[in-house]
Amino acid sequence: MIALNEDIMEFYAIITGDIVDSRSKDIREWLPQLESALKDCSDRYDIFRGDSFQLMIALEKSIESMFYLKSRIKSMGDLEVRMGLGIGTVDYMDDHIKNSFGDAFVRSGEAFESLHKDLIAVRSPWADWDELSNIMLNLCVEIANRWTVNMAETVSEALRFPKANQQELAKKLQRKHQSQVSTELTKAGWNKLNKAIIYCTEQLMKRC
């Protein structure tokens, strides 16, 4: 168990998610990719019931982490991931995230349960931020749903290495030409998507 400072109201970000139609694919194909992606985002995560996961993430990284996880899963082909982001306080922090409790976990679960045809939802103490972010982020998801494997791979590296230029990304992706990275990012709608991620994050941090 991790001790929490009860004198200061501190907000946490919790992502709850699962792999869509996971039984249609061999778990040995996607589970290592999921675990690798979760490790890139946080050292506090759990995978349970085979295809479900939960992780605690830094507030300022919470939204981009959802799109990083999406890009990593999309890079495997026709797999998809659903995620609910909850922002709130934590009353009890167990060594295992899935056994912890607090408003952040409740809201994350509620956001996840609210998903029907949508793939991403957010819930926080601020209804105005929720409304704005859910509209903007689901428009971003519509763009991301059209990613090819190459586009998803390129976006995931752009998110993982935000300071890398396109030449450096091309090397990491083993692309022969920098122009391939530029084309893939353009087709993926990366500039528009990244602006939305930054804007929603900035609006969140103003409230925390």
For 20-36, the pLDDT digits (tens) are: 988 878 888 899 999 99
Strand runs labelled E in the chain: 12-20, 45-48, 52-57, 80-88, 120-123
CATH class of 12-207: alpha beta
φ and ψ of 118, to 5 deg:
-75, 155
Sign of the dihedral defined by the CA atoms of residues 150, 152, 154, 160, in that order: negative
For residue 143, give the amino acid letter: I
**In the chain, how many H helices and how many E strands?**
8, 5
Sketch the domain layout of the chain as residue ranges.
12-207
Asked if 131 contacts 111 with a C-beta cutoff of 8 angstroms, the reply is: no
Instruction: Give the pairing type, strands 45-48 and 12-20.
Output: unpaired
Which residue, among 48, 208, 50, has the nearest Cα to 124 in the 3D structure?
Answer: 208
Longest dimension (CA), the chain: 55
136-153 per-position pLDDT tens digit: 999 999 999 999 999 999
Strand partners, 45: 55
Pairing of β 80-88 and β 120-123: parallel
Record the tokens describing residue 107, joined without a space.
């809201």
pLDDT in tens, the chain (208 residues): 444 554 457 999 999 999 998 887 888 889 999 999 999 999 999 999 888 999 999 999 999 999 999 999 999 988 899 999 999 999 999 988 988 999 999 999 999 999 988 999 999 999 999 999 999 999 999 999 999 999 999 999 999 999 999 999 999 999 999 999 999 999 999 999 999 999 999 999 999 8
Q: Which pLDDT does position 2 carry in this prediction?
A: 46
The model's pTM: 0.93
pLDDT score, position 58:
95
Give helix 178-187 / helix 190-207 axis angle, nearest 10°: 70
Phi, psi of 83, rounded to the nearest 5 degrees: -145, 140
